[in-house]
Amino acid sequence: MNIPPLGVVLAVAVAGAFGAVLRYALDITFNAAAHRRAGSTAPAFPWGILAANTLACLLVGWVASWATARGISMDLATLQESPALVVAVLIIGLGGGLSTMSTFIIGAVSLWRGRHRAKALSYIGLTIGAGLAAGYLGTLLAG
């Protein structure tokens, strides 16, 4: 098994941490009103996680398309070279830290179990639709 150099791993880790903090900030910002309503029993619609996942899809679509058009791969042999490293940091690190399948699922299940079935289905549909649209838009923006 080939292992990337420590510098690559650390760069991806730092970008992943930044993506996770950005996701948290988006979640708190978009759901600030719901978080302040301590007495609310209805689960809030997870707009922050929807925004984070959509932004991650836009970023990954843009970077992946940009890299592909320039023949840049994230092959382990070229990963230490500047363009491939930047692509790996943006896609795997930042995009991976920003996006979250587990929190998406928890939000949908929480809405469903709270008998907010229409909200749950809307959230699932919006997340998938917005992610696909954002990823496609990213490819268009890359040229």
Binding site residues, as ranges? Answer: 96, 99
What is the sign of the dihedral through the CA atoms of 26, 122, 111 and 100?
A: negative
**Residue 56 neighbours by CB under 8 Å, 6+ apart:** 19, 95, 96, 98, 99
Annotated binding site for Na(+): 96, 99
Using CB atoms within 10 Å of the CB of residue 129, give its burial: 0 to 12 exposed, 13 to 18 middle, 19+ buried. exposed
Helices 117-141 and 47-69 meet at what angle, rounded to 10? Answer: 20
Q: Helix H segments across 31-116?
A: 32-36, 47-69, 82-88, 96-98, 101-113
